[in-house]
Amino acid sequence: MNRFALLIGAIAAFAAAASAQVPTADAILDRVDRNAVPGSKILVSEMTIHGRRESRTVKSKSWIEGEDKAFTEYLDPPRERGIKMLKLGDRLWTYSPDTDRAIAISGHMLRQSVMGSDLSYEDMMADHKLREAYDARVAGEETLGDRPCWVLELTSRSGEIAYPSRKTWVDKGRFIVIKEERYAKSGRLLKTLEVRSVEFVQNRWLPKEVLFRDVLKEGQGTEFRILSIEFDAPISDALFSKASLRK
Amino acid sequence: MIRFLLKGILRDRGRSLFPLLVVTAGVFLTVAFYGYILGMMNNMIRSNANLRHGHVKVMTRAYAQDIAQVPNELALTGVAALSDELRTSYPDLDWVARIPFGGLLDVPDDEGETRIQAPVAGLAVDLRTSGGPEPGLLGLAKILVRGRMPRVPGELLMSDELARKLGLDIGGKATLITTTMAGSLAMANFTVAGTIRFGIRAMDRTGLIADLADLRRALDMDDAAGEVLGLFKDGIYRSDRAAAVLRSFEGRYAGRQGEFLPAMQTLAEQPGMDIIIGRMRYATSAIVFIFLLAMSLVMWNAGLVGTLRRYGEFGLRLAIGEAKGHVYRTMLAESLLIGVLGSTAGTVLGLSLSWYLQVHGIDVSSIMKNITFLMDTVLHSKITPLSFVIGFIPGLLASLIGTAIAGRTIYKRQTARLFKELES
């Protein structure tokens, strides 16, 4: 009997030790969210969109405050210059200088491509914390390049989300997503994300170059590059208003 | 003998005029109806061709594969040069560039904020080039309900139903939200110049017609177009000629790789039209067959009645010694002659009317003033090789068979009773 109790105790101790080495999926997502969603940021970025006919690059500047407020102005090419987008909570407006109108993007239009890229307006809107939006489990471990990763399987907690499930590779050391597959409710793969390079800025690791692919589209995907980024920068609250779209 | 019978037919109108008129009228109606049915089918094909399909359509290979999605990002480029080349190579067709497009129409309130939005499906055509073929091809003047044709940049025509739903009057402004050729968001302001009624449910719910130059600017499609339509100048779709144009055009690009190279489809190959044309041919054949059967019965009956009316005459001829077989044979010969004369006259008259309708048509717009939808108000016919025989053979055979059946009574007559019958 004593031997049996000792054996049970040994197994329990081993299991506890093992679980101490593998953080829970929620703990991993917490770390990822802390890295990805800072208080505020101002970033200049460009997207190179590899279409079926040609590739083109669109440059923009974004002011982002938490999860709910974002203002983006397109800087280049000339045709797109002056187009602005404002996100306030779950609402999105776009302004074009040609029409001098700010129009709400809603419904099925949210699934439309942004500037012809592999990203949709829904993708741009989705700045929620993964930990809050998804139930997760650790499905395994893999090494991508030279980076060991946790492989997480995410299932949405509510039905109102663009991607009901995801498979995510999280860098074990840096706690950033370096690869992701996004699925429809039916289980069909919709989009992929692949981080090409990362950068350590203001005590945070962040993906600097990312390749997004809408697998339902033909083309070579959209490369997203951060040209400059500033965290916790002061941003005037007046910027996040419809009036600022026309300025 | 034939000369004798012919003289009898021509001089004794009492016995020949009625059967001759029936056969002539029957054959005339058959030929004219057949021509009209084919013409009507052609009109339907013409409406579809003018509106959406062309008799042949040029687009990129990639666009052709996804044509139902109207993928303007896969549109043709260098359209001016391509159109010139097509006009030179195939001068018997008119070539017009078009951009079908979809999107959202946003109507602002007084503050410029969104008042209402609706999905739209539109067609960009060259509306403003003076003397251009497009307004005529689409019959826009006929389907205009309110307002006028676009004259200046930024004006468009909108379905009357859609305009009413959106609360837009003539001069009202709205913003079209769609995607550029590169896939970017496109927004363009338009003014409603006029409203139209397409007469096609789906188009009346969502239809717009805009000027090609305006859409090119809005969609960043300079010298580009989703489709270039080719239409035979006489407006008649000829599948063999269209197939020849297709073979010649595709021959130029055979063996070359590239999803953005031009590809051509004939009207009958385009999605939906293959089924429509097949069904229309089937329905046309069925209608013509039923009509032909009815007319044959009428002509057969005329042969029967004509023979029965001459009961007394045959009795007299038998009484004075003419052989039954001779009477029967002369009856058949007479009937054959009436059939030939009536069928010839009917076919000539039927073809004449069909020819007139094929070349000139009859404009019935004056009796269709209140019908403002996309429908050809000029009735047309079409003559084919079958038009020459479709009435002639039934006209000939039906009256002959009718006479042959009715004439059998000659052999049942008894010579001994003939005088008694004649006395009565």
For residue B184, give the nearest of A103, A46, A219, A51 by alpha carbon. Answer: A51
Do B183 and A113 make contact, defined as CB atoms within 8 angstroms? Answer: yes
Is position A7 within any domain? no
Q: Parallel, antiparallel, or unpaired for β B56-60 and B227-232?
A: antiparallel
Which residue of A101, A114, A115, A117 is the best one to mutate when testing the B interface, meaning the one whose CB has the most B CBs within 10 A? A101
Please report which confidence band the pLDDT of residue B93 belongs to, taking 50, 70 and 90 as the band edges: very high
Distance CA B19, CA B399 (A): 8
For residue B239, give the nearest of B193, B204, B287, B274 by alpha carbon. Answer: B274
Cα of A236 to nearest chain B Cα, Å: 24
Residue A103 is nearest to which of B62, B74, B106, comparing CB atoms?
A: B106
Tokens found for residue B104: 């959202």
Distance CA B335, CA B345 (A): 15
Residue A204, pLDDT score: 83
Q: Parallel, antiparallel, or unpaired for β A177-183 and A165-171?
A: antiparallel
Do B187 and A94 make contact, defined as CB atoms within 8 angstroms? Answer: yes
User: Would you say residue B63 has pLDDT above 90?
Assistant: yes
Cα of A211 to nearest chain B Cα, Å: 18
Which residue in B has a C-alpha nearest to residue A110's C-alpha? Answer: B185
Residue A13, pLDDT score: 45
Please report, as a single letter, which amino acid is at residue A169: W
Which residue in B has a C-alpha nearest to residue A94's C-alpha? Answer: B185
User: Would you say residue B338 has pLDDT above 90?
Assistant: no
Is position A10 within any domain? no
Do B182 and A99 make contact, defined as CB atoms within 8 angstroms? Answer: no
Using an 8 Å CB-CB cutoff, list chain A residues near B183.
Answer: 49, 51, 113, 115-117
User: Would you say residue A220 has pLDDT above 90?
Assistant: no
Residue B81, pLDDT score: 95
Please report which confidence band the pLDDT of residue B128 belongs to, taking 50, 70 and 90 as the band edges: confident
Cα of A246 to nearest chain B Cα, Å: 12
Q: Which domain holds residue A240?
A: 25-246
* Percent of all residues in chain B with a pLDDT value above 90, rounded to a whole number: 36
Please report which confidence band the pLDDT of residue A211 belongs to, taking 50, 70 and 90 as the band edges: very high
User: Would you say residue A135 has pLDDT above 80?
Assistant: yes
Residue B365, pLDDT score: 60
Please report, as a single letter, which amino acid is at residue A224: F
ipTM field: 0.74
Higher pLDDT: A191 or A8? It is A191
Q: What are phi and psi of B59, to 5 degrees?
A: -155, 180
Do A53 and B260 make contact, defined as CB atoms within 8 angstroms? Answer: yes
User: Would you say residue B415 has pLDDT above 90?
Assistant: no
Residue A80 is nearest to which of B177, B179, B184, comparing CB atoms?
A: B184
Cα of B271 to nearest chain A Cα, Å: 22
Do B177 and A109 make contact, defined as CB atoms within 8 angstroms? Answer: yes
Residue A164, pLDDT score: 92
For residue A155, give the nearest of A13, A18, A25 by alpha carbon. Answer: A25
Stretch B245-272: mean pLDDT, rounded?
90
Higher pLDDT: B112 or A196? It is A196
Residue B87, pLDDT score: 95
Please state, rounded to an integer, the average pLDDT across all residues of chain B: 84
Handedness of CA B354, B356, B359, B361 (dihedral sign): negative
| Residues in a beta bridge with A155 | A135, A165
Which residue in B has a C-alpha nearest to residue A52's C-alpha? Answer: B74
User: Would you say residue B375 has pLDDT above 60?
Assistant: no
Please state, rounded to an integer, the average pLDDT across all residues of chain A: 85
Using alpha carbons only, give the angle A11, A16, A19 rounded to the nearest 5 degrees. 125
Stretch A152-157: mean pLDDT, rounded?
92
Please report, as a single letter, which amino acid is at residue B74: L
B177 touches chain A (CB under 8 A): yes
- CB-CB contact of B193 with B147 (8 Å): yes
Which residue of A103, A105, A112, A115 is the best one to mutate when testing the B interface, meaning the one whose CB has the most B CBs within 10 A? A103
Stretch B166-170: mean pLDDT, rounded?
94
Residues within 8 A of A (CB atoms), B 178-197 only = 179-180, 182-185, 187-189
Do A103 and B114 make contact, defined as CB atoms within 8 angstroms? Answer: yes
Do A104 and B114 make contact, defined as CB atoms within 8 angstroms? Answer: yes
Stretch B30-52: mean pLDDT, rounded?
83
- What is the three-state SS of chain B? CHHHHHHHHHHCHHHHHHHHHHHHHHHHHHHHHHHHHHHHHHHHHHHHHHHHHCCEEEEEHHHHHCHHHCCHHHCEECHHHHHHHHHHHCCCEEEEEEEEEEEEEEEECCCCCEEEEEEEEEEEECCCCCCCCHHHHHCHHHHEEEECCCCCCCEEEEEHHHHHHHCCCCCCEEEEEEECCCCCEEEEEEEEEEEECCCCHHHHHHEEEEEHHHHHHHCCCCCEECEEEEEECCCCCCHHHHHHHHHHHHHHHCCCCCCCCEEEEEHHHCCCHHHHHHHHHHHHHHHHHHHHHHHHHHHHHHHHHHHHHCHHHHHHHHHCCCCHHHHHHHHHHHHHHHHHHHHHHHHHHHHHHHHHHHHCCEECHHHHCCCCCCCCCEECCCCCHHHHCCCHHHHHHHHHHHHHHHHHHHHHCCHHHHHHHHHC
Q: Residue A247 class from Cβ within 10 Å (0-12 exposed, 13-18 middle, 19+ buried)?
A: exposed
Stretch A106-114: mean pLDDT, rounded?
79
Higher pLDDT: B99 or B129? It is B99
Do A115 and B184 make contact, defined as CB atoms within 8 angstroms? Answer: yes
Distance CA A166, CA B5 (A): 95
Using alpha carbons only, give the angle A52, A54, A60 rounded to the nearest 5 degrees. 110
For residue B215, give the nearest of B136, B102, B84, B79 by alpha carbon. Answer: B102
Residue B108 is nearest to which of A101, A113, A116, comparing CB atoms?
A: A101
- CB-CB contact of B267 with B48 (8 Å): yes
For the ranges B6-20, B190-204, B243-257, B333-347, the maximum mean pLDDT occurs at: B243-257
B104 touches chain A (CB under 8 A): yes
Lowest mean pLDDT: which of B56-70, B99-113, B323-337?
Answer: B323-337
Is position A199 within any domain? yes
Residues of chain A whose beta carbon is less than 8 angstroms from a beta carbon of chain B are 49, 51-54, 56, 58, 79-80, 83, 94, 96, 98-104, 109, 112-117
Residue B419, pLDDT score: 67
Structural domains in chain A (count):
1
User: Would you say residue A20 has pLDDT above 70?
Assistant: no
Residue B73 is nearest to which of A51, A99, A109, comparing CB atoms?
A: A51
Residues in chain A: 247
Do B187 and A53 make contact, defined as CB atoms within 8 angstroms? Answer: no
Using an 8 Å CB-CB cutoff, list chain A residues near B182.
Answer: 49, 51, 54, 56, 115-116
User: Would you say residue B274 has pLDDT above 70?
Assistant: yes
CB–CB contacts below 8 A, A to B: 63
Residue B371, pLDDT score: 46
User: Would you say residue B207 has pLDDT above 70?
Assistant: yes
Do B260 and A114 make contact, defined as CB atoms within 8 angstroms? Answer: no
For residue B265, give the nearest of B92, B68, B102, B41 by alpha carbon. Answer: B68
Question: Residue holding tokens 């097509």?
Answer: B86
Residue A56 is nearest to which of B62, B112, B182, comparing CB atoms?
A: B182
Stretch A103-118: mean pLDDT, rounded?
82
User: Would you say residue B238 has pLDDT above 90?
Assistant: no
Decide: pTM greater than 0.80. no
- CB-CB contact of B22 with B299 (8 Å): yes
Q: Parallel, antiparallel, or unpaired for β B227-232 and B93-108?
A: antiparallel
The CATH number covering residue A40 comes to 2.50.20.10
| Radius of gyration of chain B measured on its C-alpha atoms | 31
Higher pLDDT: B373 or B308? It is B308
Which residue in A has a C-alpha nearest to residue B180's C-alpha? Answer: A116
Please measure the distance between the N-terminal and C-terminal CA atoms of chain A and give it in whole angstroms: 81
Please report which confidence band the pLDDT of residue B111 belongs to, taking 50, 70 and 90 as the band edges: confident
Which residue in A has a C-alpha nearest to residue B173's C-alpha? Answer: A99
Higher pLDDT: B183 or A30? It is A30
User: Would you say residue A158 has pLDDT above 90?
Assistant: no
Is position A56 within any domain? yes
Cα of A29 to nearest chain B Cα, Å: 33
Using an 8 Å CB-CB cutoff, list chain A residues near B188.
Answer: 98-99
Using an 8 Å CB-CB cutoff, list chain A residues near B220.
Answer: 79
Stretch A146-168: mean pLDDT, rounded?
90
Which residue in A has a C-alpha nearest to residue B181's C-alpha? Answer: A116
Higher pLDDT: B363 or A241? It is A241
Cα of B201 to nearest chain A Cα, Å: 23
Higher pLDDT: B92 or A79? It is B92
